[in-house]
Amino acid sequence: MTAATSPVISLGFRTDLMLLTLQGSRVEERDGYRVVRTPANPTFHWGNFLLLPAPPAPGDAARRVDTFRREFPDADHVALGVDGTDGATGDPADLAAAGLHVERGTVLTAASLRPPARPNPTATYRVADTDDDWAQALALNEAGNTDFEPTAYREFAARRLAGFRALQERGHGAWFGAFEDDRLRAGLGLFTDGRGLARYQTVGTHPNHRNRGLASGLVHAAAQHAATHWSVTTLVIVADPDYVAIDLYRRLGFTDTETQIQLQTVPA
Protein backbone atom coordinates (compact mmCIF):
# COMPACT_ATOMS: atom_id res chain seq x y z
CA MET A 1 0.00 0.00 0.00
CA THR A 2 1.31 3.47 -0.87
CA ALA A 3 0.94 6.64 1.15
CA ALA A 4 -2.16 8.71 0.43
CA THR A 5 -1.55 11.83 -1.60
CA SER A 6 -2.83 15.21 -0.45
CA PRO A 7 -6.09 16.67 -1.80
CA VAL A 8 -5.91 18.32 -5.24
CA ILE A 9 -5.86 22.10 -4.79
CA SER A 10 -5.93 23.14 -8.46
CA LEU A 11 -9.49 23.92 -9.54
CA GLY A 12 -8.48 23.14 -13.10
CA PHE A 13 -7.30 19.65 -12.24
CA ARG A 14 -10.10 19.07 -9.72
CA THR A 15 -12.67 19.66 -12.44
CA ASP A 16 -10.61 17.63 -14.93
CA LEU A 17 -10.66 14.68 -12.52
CA MET A 18 -14.34 15.26 -11.77
CA LEU A 19 -15.27 14.83 -15.43
CA LEU A 20 -12.82 12.02 -16.13
CA THR A 21 -13.98 9.89 -13.21
CA LEU A 22 -17.62 10.45 -14.16
CA GLN A 23 -16.70 8.95 -17.55
CA GLY A 24 -15.03 5.89 -16.05
CA SER A 25 -11.40 7.02 -15.83
CA ARG A 26 -9.38 5.60 -12.96
CA VAL A 27 -7.29 7.66 -10.55
CA GLU A 28 -4.65 5.54 -8.84
CA GLU A 29 -2.79 6.80 -5.78
CA ARG A 30 0.96 6.37 -5.71
CA ASP A 31 3.60 7.51 -3.24
CA GLY A 32 4.07 11.11 -4.35
CA TYR A 33 1.82 11.28 -7.43
CA ARG A 34 -1.47 10.18 -8.98
CA VAL A 35 -1.92 8.12 -12.13
CA VAL A 36 -4.96 8.99 -14.25
CA ARG A 37 -6.02 6.38 -16.81
CA THR A 38 -8.78 6.51 -19.41
CA PRO A 39 -8.99 3.04 -20.97
CA ALA A 40 -11.86 4.11 -23.23
CA ASN A 41 -9.64 6.73 -24.91
CA PRO A 42 -5.99 5.68 -24.63
CA THR A 43 -4.70 8.35 -27.04
CA PHE A 44 -6.21 11.19 -24.99
CA HIS A 45 -3.09 12.77 -23.51
CA TRP A 46 -4.89 14.53 -20.66
CA GLY A 47 -6.95 11.47 -19.87
CA ASN A 48 -3.77 9.44 -19.40
CA PHE A 49 -1.28 11.36 -17.30
CA LEU A 50 0.52 11.73 -13.99
CA LEU A 51 -0.60 14.42 -11.57
CA LEU A 52 2.30 15.65 -9.48
CA PRO A 53 1.70 17.37 -6.12
CA ALA A 54 4.28 20.08 -6.94
CA PRO A 55 6.65 21.07 -9.75
CA PRO A 56 9.59 18.71 -10.33
CA ALA A 57 12.42 19.47 -7.94
CA PRO A 58 15.76 20.55 -9.45
CA GLY A 59 17.24 17.62 -11.34
CA ASP A 60 14.04 15.56 -10.99
CA ALA A 61 12.25 16.17 -14.31
CA ALA A 62 13.91 13.26 -16.14
CA ARG A 63 12.97 10.89 -13.32
CA ARG A 64 9.35 12.02 -13.56
CA VAL A 65 9.41 11.31 -17.30
CA ASP A 66 10.79 7.84 -16.58
CA THR A 67 7.98 7.29 -14.07
CA PHE A 68 5.41 8.21 -16.70
CA ARG A 69 6.92 5.79 -19.21
CA ARG A 70 6.88 3.03 -16.60
CA GLU A 71 3.20 3.67 -15.84
CA PHE A 72 2.26 4.03 -19.54
CA PRO A 73 4.73 1.83 -21.45
CA ASP A 74 2.69 1.90 -24.68
CA ALA A 75 2.04 5.66 -24.76
CA ASP A 76 3.58 7.81 -27.48
CA HIS A 77 3.29 10.91 -25.31
CA VAL A 78 4.35 12.14 -21.88
CA ALA A 79 1.88 14.22 -19.84
CA LEU A 80 2.59 15.50 -16.34
CA GLY A 81 0.13 17.75 -14.53
CA VAL A 82 1.38 20.00 -11.74
CA ASP A 83 -1.04 20.57 -8.90
CA GLY A 84 -1.00 24.20 -7.79
CA THR A 85 -2.54 27.58 -8.45
CA ASP A 86 0.34 30.01 -9.02
CA GLY A 87 1.82 28.70 -12.26
CA ALA A 88 5.06 27.32 -10.80
CA THR A 89 6.68 24.89 -13.26
CA GLY A 90 10.09 23.88 -11.97
CA ASP A 91 13.47 24.75 -13.44
CA PRO A 92 13.11 25.63 -17.17
CA ALA A 93 16.50 24.20 -18.13
CA ASP A 94 15.78 20.97 -16.28
CA LEU A 95 12.41 20.63 -18.02
CA ALA A 96 13.93 21.32 -21.44
CA ALA A 97 16.65 18.73 -20.87
CA ALA A 98 13.92 16.17 -20.11
CA GLY A 99 12.09 17.09 -23.32
CA LEU A 100 9.17 18.71 -21.52
CA HIS A 101 7.24 21.67 -22.89
CA VAL A 102 5.25 23.90 -20.52
CA GLU A 103 1.59 24.59 -21.32
CA ARG A 104 -0.09 27.27 -19.21
CA GLY A 105 -3.85 27.49 -18.91
CA THR A 106 -5.75 30.30 -17.21
CA VAL A 107 -8.55 28.95 -15.02
CA LEU A 108 -11.48 31.36 -15.03
CA THR A 109 -14.60 31.24 -12.87
CA ALA A 110 -17.96 32.96 -12.62
CA ALA A 111 -21.16 32.59 -10.62
CA SER A 112 -23.22 33.84 -13.56
CA LEU A 113 -22.58 35.45 -16.94
CA ARG A 114 -23.57 38.66 -18.68
CA PRO A 115 -25.38 38.44 -22.02
CA PRO A 116 -23.17 39.11 -25.06
CA ALA A 117 -22.91 42.77 -26.01
CA ARG A 118 -23.57 41.90 -29.67
CA PRO A 119 -25.75 38.79 -29.80
CA ASN A 120 -26.00 36.83 -33.01
CA PRO A 121 -29.51 37.40 -34.42
CA THR A 122 -29.87 34.20 -36.46
CA ALA A 123 -28.56 31.36 -34.29
CA THR A 124 -30.59 28.94 -32.20
CA TYR A 125 -28.84 27.62 -29.08
CA ARG A 126 -29.90 24.19 -27.86
CA VAL A 127 -28.78 20.86 -26.43
CA ALA A 128 -27.66 18.19 -28.90
CA ASP A 129 -30.42 15.59 -28.92
CA THR A 130 -30.21 13.55 -32.15
CA ASP A 131 -27.66 11.29 -33.79
CA ASP A 132 -27.29 13.92 -36.51
CA ASP A 133 -26.49 16.59 -33.91
CA TRP A 134 -23.70 14.42 -32.52
CA ALA A 135 -22.41 13.60 -36.00
CA GLN A 136 -22.24 17.33 -36.69
CA ALA A 137 -20.39 17.82 -33.41
CA LEU A 138 -17.72 15.37 -34.59
CA ALA A 139 -17.46 17.15 -37.94
CA LEU A 140 -17.08 20.47 -36.12
CA ASN A 141 -14.22 19.05 -34.04
CA GLU A 142 -12.53 17.78 -37.18
CA ALA A 143 -12.93 21.13 -38.95
CA GLY A 144 -11.07 22.85 -36.12
CA ASN A 145 -8.17 20.39 -36.04
CA THR A 146 -4.96 21.92 -37.36
CA ASP A 147 -2.40 20.16 -35.17
CA PHE A 148 -2.91 16.40 -35.42
CA GLU A 149 -3.00 13.66 -38.07
CA PRO A 150 -6.63 13.60 -39.26
CA THR A 151 -7.44 9.89 -38.90
CA ALA A 152 -5.99 9.60 -35.41
CA TYR A 153 -7.66 12.85 -34.38
CA ARG A 154 -11.05 11.66 -35.63
CA GLU A 155 -10.76 8.50 -33.52
CA PHE A 156 -9.79 10.53 -30.45
CA ALA A 157 -12.56 13.09 -30.99
CA ALA A 158 -15.21 10.42 -31.58
CA ARG A 159 -14.28 8.68 -28.34
CA ARG A 160 -14.31 11.91 -26.40
CA LEU A 161 -17.70 12.94 -27.74
CA ALA A 162 -19.05 9.48 -26.91
CA GLY A 163 -17.95 10.10 -23.33
CA PHE A 164 -19.68 13.48 -23.30
CA ARG A 165 -22.85 11.95 -24.74
CA ALA A 166 -22.85 9.31 -22.00
CA LEU A 167 -22.51 12.05 -19.37
CA GLN A 168 -25.45 13.89 -20.91
CA GLU A 169 -27.60 10.76 -20.94
CA ARG A 170 -26.84 10.22 -17.24
CA GLY A 171 -27.82 13.77 -16.32
CA HIS A 172 -24.32 15.15 -15.72
CA GLY A 173 -24.49 18.01 -18.20
CA ALA A 174 -24.96 18.50 -21.91
CA TRP A 175 -23.40 19.25 -25.26
CA PHE A 176 -24.73 22.52 -26.65
CA GLY A 177 -24.78 23.79 -30.20
CA ALA A 178 -25.33 27.05 -32.04
CA PHE A 179 -27.44 26.09 -35.05
CA GLU A 180 -28.51 27.94 -38.18
CA ASP A 181 -31.10 26.07 -40.27
CA ASP A 182 -30.22 22.94 -38.24
CA ARG A 183 -26.55 23.21 -39.23
CA LEU A 184 -24.10 23.26 -36.33
CA ARG A 185 -21.90 26.36 -36.40
CA ALA A 186 -20.41 26.23 -32.87
CA GLY A 187 -20.41 23.74 -30.02
CA LEU A 188 -19.30 23.16 -26.45
CA GLY A 189 -19.83 20.89 -23.50
CA LEU A 190 -20.79 21.90 -19.97
CA PHE A 191 -20.72 19.16 -17.35
CA THR A 192 -21.19 18.80 -13.60
CA ASP A 193 -21.18 16.22 -10.83
CA GLY A 194 -24.19 17.89 -9.22
CA ARG A 195 -22.24 19.49 -6.38
CA GLY A 196 -22.18 23.06 -7.62
CA LEU A 197 -19.24 23.09 -10.05
CA ALA A 198 -19.72 22.97 -13.83
CA ARG A 199 -16.82 22.80 -16.29
CA TYR A 200 -16.86 23.92 -19.90
CA GLN A 201 -15.24 21.64 -22.48
CA THR A 202 -14.01 22.09 -26.05
CA VAL A 203 -15.56 25.41 -27.02
CA GLY A 204 -15.26 25.65 -30.79
CA THR A 205 -16.66 27.48 -33.80
CA HIS A 206 -16.45 26.26 -37.38
CA PRO A 207 -13.62 28.14 -39.16
CA ASN A 208 -16.09 29.48 -41.74
CA HIS A 209 -18.35 31.01 -39.10
CA ARG A 210 -16.03 32.71 -36.62
CA ASN A 211 -16.31 36.32 -35.42
CA ARG A 212 -20.11 36.29 -35.64
CA GLY A 213 -20.92 36.17 -31.92
CA LEU A 214 -21.78 32.47 -31.98
CA ALA A 215 -19.35 31.31 -29.30
CA SER A 216 -20.22 34.09 -26.85
CA GLY A 217 -23.93 33.44 -27.30
CA LEU A 218 -23.43 29.72 -26.81
CA VAL A 219 -21.28 30.08 -23.68
CA HIS A 220 -23.95 32.35 -22.18
CA ALA A 221 -26.85 30.08 -23.20
CA ALA A 222 -25.16 27.06 -21.62
CA ALA A 223 -24.64 29.00 -18.38
CA GLN A 224 -28.32 29.92 -18.28
CA HIS A 225 -29.29 26.30 -18.80
CA ALA A 226 -26.95 25.20 -16.01
CA ALA A 227 -28.36 27.73 -13.56
CA THR A 228 -31.92 26.68 -14.34
CA HIS A 229 -31.55 22.90 -14.52
CA TRP A 230 -28.49 21.88 -12.49
CA SER A 231 -28.24 24.28 -9.52
CA VAL A 232 -24.71 25.25 -10.54
CA THR A 233 -23.01 27.84 -8.33
CA THR A 234 -19.58 28.08 -10.01
CA LEU A 235 -18.82 27.97 -13.73
CA VAL A 236 -15.26 26.95 -14.63
CA ILE A 237 -13.46 27.32 -17.95
CA VAL A 238 -9.76 26.90 -18.80
CA ALA A 239 -8.33 29.04 -21.59
CA ASP A 240 -5.07 29.65 -23.39
CA PRO A 241 -3.83 32.97 -21.97
CA ASP A 242 -2.42 33.95 -25.37
CA TYR A 243 -5.50 33.17 -27.48
CA VAL A 244 -8.28 35.63 -28.29
CA ALA A 245 -11.04 33.47 -26.75
CA ILE A 246 -9.95 34.40 -23.23
CA ASP A 247 -11.07 38.00 -23.80
CA LEU A 248 -14.48 36.74 -24.93
CA TYR A 249 -14.85 34.86 -21.65
CA ARG A 250 -13.80 37.87 -19.61
CA ARG A 251 -16.33 40.09 -21.37
CA LEU A 252 -19.06 37.62 -20.39
CA GLY A 253 -18.07 37.91 -16.73
CA PHE A 254 -15.43 35.24 -16.13
CA THR A 255 -12.51 36.29 -13.92
CA ASP A 256 -9.01 34.83 -13.75
CA THR A 257 -8.69 32.55 -10.73
CA GLU A 258 -5.49 30.51 -11.08
CA THR A 259 -2.94 29.12 -13.53
CA GLN A 260 -2.93 25.45 -14.51
CA ILE A 261 0.37 23.87 -15.52
CA GLN A 262 0.75 20.94 -17.90
CA LEU A 263 4.16 19.52 -18.83
CA GLN A 264 4.21 17.41 -21.94
CA THR A 265 6.19 16.00 -24.79
CA VAL A 266 4.50 14.69 -27.92
CA PRO A 267 5.78 12.81 -30.96
CA ALA A 268 7.52 14.87 -33.61
User: Rounded to an integer, what distance in angstroms lies between the CA atom of residue 236 and that of residue 56?
Assistant: 27
The number of angstroms, rounded, from the C-alpha of 95 to the middle of its chain's C-alpha atoms is 23
Three-class DSSP category at 225: helix
Give pLDDT, residue 5.
63
Q: Are 35 and 50 in contact (CB under 8 A)?
A: yes
* β-strand pairing of 49-52 with 124-127: unpaired
124-232 maps to CATH 3.40.630.30: yes
Does residue 3 surpass a pLDDT of 50?
Answer: no
**pTM greater than 0.85 (yes/no):** yes
- Within 8 A by CB and 6+ apart from 186, the residues are 123, 140, 177, 178, 203, 204, 205, 206, 209, 214, 215, 218
Instruction: Give pLDDT tens digits for 162-182.
Output: 999 999 999 999 999 999 999
Please report, for residues 85, 167, 186, 220, 239, the alpha-carbon distance to residue 259 in angstroms, rounded to integers and kept in the order given.
Answer: 5, 27, 26, 23, 10
Number of residues assigned to the chain: 268
Q: Average pLDDT of 153-158? A: 93
Instruction: Give pLDDT tens digits for 205-264.
Output: 999 999 999 999 999 999 999 999 999 999 999 999 999 999 999 999 999 999 999 999
What are the extents of the domains in the chain? Answer: 11-105, 124-232
